C-alpha cells in the first residue's frame, strides 16, 4: 500500500497497519509514503505500467473513473452488499465520489475535509476587525491588513490546487452548484457561463489589490509554508482544507492550542445564487484494490478494509488530530474532544451543506484537471483574462 507522507496521518495509518499486522500475521501490509503532489503522478504511472500497489489510495472522482474504465481497480459493489454493516458505517454522501457508472470502486475512509477560511485571531483583534461575511468585507480587510503591513491571505500558489479552492467557492457562491454540475457532465459551453467569468474577474480583482501574500506563486503547499505564514502572523487569513488544522496544531507552537486560530465558512457574494451553506472539498479519501493484485493480496486488502482501516483507535486518532472521520454516530466523541469547536464546525458544515462539491481537480478527468490547474495558475498571474480562462477551459469539455 502507498500512502501520503506527513504528520499526523502518517503515524495514524502506520499504527493501524501495525495493529492489523500483529493480529493478522499471515496478511501483513507494507506501506510506502510519498509527498502529496509527487504521489498523484507516481500512482498513475504505476497503474499504467501494471506495477500498482494492491491498495490504491486516492480521492475518487475523475481519476478513479479512468482506473475503473480501464479495469485497473476491483468492482467492490457486491462486496459492500455482502458487508452491509461496513457500508452503513460511513456517511452516505461519501460514496458519491467512489461510484462510477453506478458501481462502487473504492472504500471511503479517513475524514471529510471541507475547505474552510482560517484566520489569525490575534491579528484580527489587533486590527479591530471581524472575519469576512461578504466579498466587500474581504476587499476592505485586504486594505486594512495591507496598511498594517500584514499579508491579507496566505496562498501556496505553486501547488495550484490551492488557488483552485478560491474558484471552487467563488463559482459556487456566484452561480450556484449547477454551474459546475454542468461542467462535470460535459454540457456544451458549460465553462462559458457568466458566473465563470465573474469568478475570474473577482480573482483578478483580489490579486490586483494585493490580496495574496507576496510571492504566493512560488509557495508550495507540500512544504506547509502557507500554513506557517498564517501561524507566524505574516498573513491574516488562509483558505485551505480542514486537514491543515492537525499540522497547524502540531507545528504551530501552540497557535491552535492558545485559541488563536479562527475559522469561518466562505463569505457570500452580493447577488450570488449559491447557497452560503454549500461546501467544497474532499467528501472523503478513497482506497481501491488493484485488479492486478493476486487473489491473496485482494483478500488481505478486503480484510484490512473491513477490520483494519477504520478501527476505533484510528477514528479516535483522526478526531484527536482535528479531523472529522466519515463515520456515523461520532457526535458524542466530537463533543468531548479538546478540538470540539473546530470539529463541530466541520461536521456541521459537511452535514448541513445542501451541496458538497468534490474538489474539481479530483472530480474532473486528469486531462481536464491538468488544463484547469494550468489555466488557474495563469489566471492568478493575470497572464490570461477571465474570458480567455473560460474559453481555454471550454475547449477541454468532454476530454
Partner 1 sequence: MSSTTTHRAATASRKIEQTGQQKSALAWLTVPALIFFVVFALAPLVGVLVLSFANWDGIGAIGAAGLENWSSVLSDPGLYNALGLTFLIMIVSWLVQTPISLLLGVFTAGTQRYRAALAVLYFLPLLLSSAAVAIAYKALLDPNFGLAVGLGLPFLAQDWLGVPQLALGLVIFVIAWQFVPFHTLIYQGGVRQIPKSLYEAAQIDGAGIIKQFFHITLPQLKYTIITSSTLMVVGSLTYFDLIFVLTGGGPGNSTRILALDMYLRGFRANLMGPASVIAVILVVIGLVLALFLQRLGGKDKQGSQLEGL
* Residue 35 in contact with partner 1, rule: CB under 8 A: no
To partner 1, the closest distance from the beta carbon of 66 in angstroms equals 6
Residue 348 grid coordinates: 456541521
Residue 243 grid coordinates: 486537514
Give the DSSP letter of residue 290: B
Q: What would the x/- binding string for partner 1 be over residues 196 to 215, using CB under 8 A?
A: -----------------xxx
Whole-number Å distance between alpha carbons of 119 and 357: 23
* Residue 44 in contact with partner 1, rule: CB under 8 A: yes
To partner 1, the closest distance from the beta carbon of 227 in angstroms equals 12
| Single residue of 87, 234, 302, 340 touching partner 1 by CB under 8 A | 234
To partner 1, the closest distance from the beta carbon of 383 in angstroms equals 5
Stretch that binds partner 1, among 69-77, 109-117, 284-292, 301-309 (CB under 8 A): 69-77
C-beta closer to partner 1: residue 318 or 389: 389
* Residue 51 in contact with partner 1, rule: CB under 8 A: no
* Residue 47 in contact with partner 1, rule: CB under 8 A: yes
C-beta closer to partner 1: residue 64 or 353: 64
To partner 1, the closest distance from the beta carbon of 214 in angstroms equals 6
| Single residue of 229, 317, 343, 353 touching partner 1 by CB under 8 A | 229
C-beta closer to partner 1: residue 311 or 392: 392
Stretch that binds partner 1, among 15-23, 43-51, 116-124, 172-180 (CB under 8 A): 43-51
* Structural contact between residues 154 and 234, judged by C-beta atoms closer than 8 angstroms: yes
Whole-number Å distance between alpha carbons of 312 and 335: 16
SS3 category, 8 = coil
- Measured on CA atoms in the order 193, 355, 282, 216, is the torsion positive or negative? positive
C-beta closer to partner 1: residue 190 or 235: 235
Whole-number Å distance between alpha carbons of 342 and 261: 10
* Structural contact between residues 75 and 105, judged by C-beta atoms closer than 8 angstroms: yes
Stretch that binds partner 1, among 41-49, 130-138, 296-304, 324-332 (CB under 8 A): 41-49
Whole-number Å distance between alpha carbons of 240 and 222: 12
Sequence-distant (≥ 6) Cβ neighbours of residue 123 within 8 angstroms: 145, 148, 150, 233, 236
| Single residue of 5, 10, 201, 217 touching partner 1 by CB under 8 A | 217
Residue 221 grid coordinates: 503547499
To partner 1, the closest distance from the beta carbon of 194 in angstroms equals 25
SS3 category, 260 = coil
Q: What would the x/- binding string for partner 1 be over residues 122 to 161, using CB under 8 A?
A: -----------------------------------xx-x-
End-to-end CA distance of the chain: 30
C-beta closer to partner 1: residue 230 or 239: 230
Task: State the chain's maximal CA–CA distance in angstroms.
Answer: 63
Residue labelled with grid coordinates 454551474: 179
* Residue 69 in contact with partner 1, rule: CB under 8 A: yes
* Residue 119: burial class (beta carbons within 10 Å; 0-12, 13-18, 19+): buried
Whole-number Å distance between alpha carbons of 56 and 382: 37
What phi, psi does 357 have (nearest 5°)?
-80, 125
Number of residues in contact with partner 1 under rule CB under 8 A: 35
| Binders of partner 1 in range 245-304 (CB under 8 A) | none
SS3 category, 222 = coil
Stretch that binds partner 1, among 62-70, 164-172, 241-249, 254-262 (CB under 8 A): 62-70
* Residue 346: burial class (beta carbons within 10 Å; 0-12, 13-18, 19+): buried
To partner 1, the closest distance from the beta carbon of 202 in angstroms equals 19
| Binders of partner 1 in range 354-393 (CB under 8 A) | 365-367, 369-371, 374, 377-378, 381, 383
Whole-number Å distance between alpha carbons of 237 and 231: 10
CB 32: neighbour CB atoms within 10 A?
11
| Single residue of 218, 253, 254, 294 touching partner 1 by CB under 8 A | 218
List contacts with partner 1 (CB under 8 A). Answer: 41, 44-45, 47-48, 66-67, 69-70, 72, 157-158, 160, 213-219, 225, 228-229, 234, 365-367, 369-371, 374, 377-378, 381, 383
Amino acid at each position: 500500500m502507498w500512502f501520503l507522507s506527513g504528520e499526523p496521518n502518517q503515524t495514524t495509518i502506520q499504527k493501524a497497519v501495525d495493529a492489523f499486522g500483529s493480529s493478522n500475521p499471515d496478511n501483513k501490509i507494507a506501506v510506502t509514503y510519498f509527498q502529496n503532489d509527487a504521489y498523484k503522478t507516481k500512482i498513475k504511472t504505476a497503474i499504467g505500467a501494471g506495477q500498482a500497489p494492491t491498495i490504491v489510495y486516492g480521492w475518487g472522482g475523475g481519476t478513479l473513473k479512468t482506473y475503473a474504465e480501464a479495469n485497473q481497480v476491483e468492482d467492490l459493489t457486491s462486496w459492500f452488499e455482502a458487508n452491509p454493516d461496513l457500508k452503513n458505517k460511513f456517511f452516505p454522501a461519501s460514496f458519491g465520489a467512489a461510484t462510477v457508472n453506478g458501481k462502487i470502486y473504492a472504500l471511503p475512509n479517513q475524514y471529510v475535509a471541507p475547505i474552510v477560511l482560517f484566520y489569525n485571531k490575534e491579528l484580527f483583534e489587533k486590527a479591530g476587525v471581524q472575519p469576512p461575511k461578504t466579498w466587500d468585507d474581504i476587499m476592505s480587510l485586504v486594505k486594512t491588513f495591507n496598511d498594517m503591513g500584514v499579508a491579507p491571505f496566505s496562498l501556496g500558489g505553486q501547488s495550484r490546487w490551492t488557488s483552485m479552492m478560491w474558484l471552487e467557492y467563488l463559482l459556487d457562491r456566484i452561480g450556484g452548484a449547477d454551474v459546475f454540475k454542468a461542467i462535470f457532465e460535459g454540457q456544451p459551453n458549460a465553462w462559458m457561463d457568466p458566473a465563470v467569468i465573474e469568478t475570474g474577474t473577482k480573482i483578478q480583482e483580489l490579486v490586483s489589490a494585493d490580496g495574496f501574500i507576496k510571492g504566493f506563486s512560488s509557495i508550495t503547499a507540500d512544504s506547509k509554508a502557507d500554513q506557517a505564514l498564517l501561524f507566524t502572523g505574516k498573513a491574516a487569513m488562509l483558505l485551505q482544507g480542514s486537514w491543515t488544522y492537525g499540522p497547524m496544531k502540531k507545528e504551530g507552537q501552540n497557535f491552535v492550542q492558545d485559541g488563536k486560530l479562527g475559522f469561518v465558512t466562505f463569505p457570500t457574494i452580493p447577488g450570488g445564487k449559491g447557497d452560503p451553506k454549500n461546501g467544497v472539498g474532499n467528501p472523503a479519501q478513497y482506497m481501491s484494490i488493484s485488479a492486478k493484485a493476486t487473489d491473496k493480496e485482494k483478500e488481505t486488502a478486503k480484510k484490512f478494509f473491513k477490520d483494519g482501516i477504520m478501527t476505533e483507535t484510528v477514528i479516535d486518532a483522526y478526531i484527536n488530530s482535528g479531523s472529522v472521520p466519515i463515520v456515523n454516530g461520532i457526535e458524542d466523541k466530537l463533543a468531548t474532544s479538546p478540538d470540539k469547536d473546530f470539529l463541530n464546525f466541520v461536521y456541521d458544515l459537511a452535514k448541513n451543506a445542501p451541496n458538497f462539491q468534490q474538489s474539481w481537480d479530483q472530480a474532473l478527468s486528469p486531462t481536464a484537471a491538468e488544463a484547469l490547474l494550468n489555466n488557474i495558475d495563469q489566471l492568478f498571474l493575470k497572464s490570461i483574462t477571465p474570458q480567455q480562462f473560460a474559453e481555454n477551459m471550454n475547449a477541454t469539455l468532454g476530454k
